[in-house]
């Protein structure tokens, strides 16, 4: 039975040659017999090891991080995600939060990397840590802004044990509560991995 027949919606970005990728990473090459790309290409998960030496790798990710109930929150700010807008949604402890921004409509159709994507400020990351969430997802290639400030956002979240899903496509998804399945490839010792992500609306 197809995923769609069971109510599941694919929110992954298809891996393909020429797709947008992080500056400095190898350009993705995808053929019927070859896959050459960074582990942080397309829809993927960041492990704590991505920024914290000696921390948990992607192969040790607990299923509970990305399998279970999730909430999609639609972000109104077209530039940056700040604590004030997040507070409005009354985020609760242990939630899995997926942030839908203008990225889904504007960034993914463009094969050229867009450094002006919507992302989370370090202060907003600190707020999410205070909320006690377990997972945060966003609809472009980084949870943090382009440049060094983005490193700070990652550091804050990953040091708190929050798992990060990046590169989602939420253009067809409305705000609300969903069942989420998002599992990475088991890449031994890696700081991240490509993932397939699907959601199903909760009744």
| Catalytic center residues | 50
Q: CA of 71: how far to CAs of 79, 83, 94, in Å? A: 21, 17, 11
CB 55 within 8 A of CB 190: no
What are the b/e assignments for 84-119, b being 16+ CB within 10 Å? eebeebebeeebbbbbbbbbbebbbeeeebeeebbb
Instruction: Report DSSP state, residue 88.
Output: H
Q: To the nearest 10°, the Cα dihedral for 107, 124, 92, 175?
A: -20
Q: Which residues contact 34 (CB under 8 A, 6 or more apart)?
A: none
């Amino acid at each position: 039975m197809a995923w769609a027949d069971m109510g599941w919606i694919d929110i992954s970005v298809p891996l393909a040659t020429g797709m947008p990728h992080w500056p400095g990473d190898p350009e993705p090459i995808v053929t019927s017999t070859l896959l050459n790309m960074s582990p942080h290409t397309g829809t993927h998960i960041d492990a704590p090891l991505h920024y914290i030496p000696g921390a948990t790798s992607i192969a040790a990710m607990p299923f509970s991080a990305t399998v279970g109930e999730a909430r999609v929150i639609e972000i109104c700010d077209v530039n940056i995600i700040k604590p004030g807008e997040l507070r409005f949604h009354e985020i609760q402890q242990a939630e899995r939060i997926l942030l839908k921004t203008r990225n889904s409509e504007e960034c993914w159709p463009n094969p050229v990397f867009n450094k002006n994507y919507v992302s989370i400020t370090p202060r907003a990351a600190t707020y999410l840590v205070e909320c006690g969430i377990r997972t945060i997802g966003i609809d472009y290639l980084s949870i943090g802004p382009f440049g060094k400030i983005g490193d700070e956002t990652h550091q804050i979240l990953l040091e708190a044990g929050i798992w990060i899903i990046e590169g989602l496509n939420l253009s067809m998804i409305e705000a609300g509560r969903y069942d989420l399945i998002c599992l990475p490839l088991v890449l031994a010792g890696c700081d991240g991995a490509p993932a397939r992500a699907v959601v199903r609306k909760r009744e």
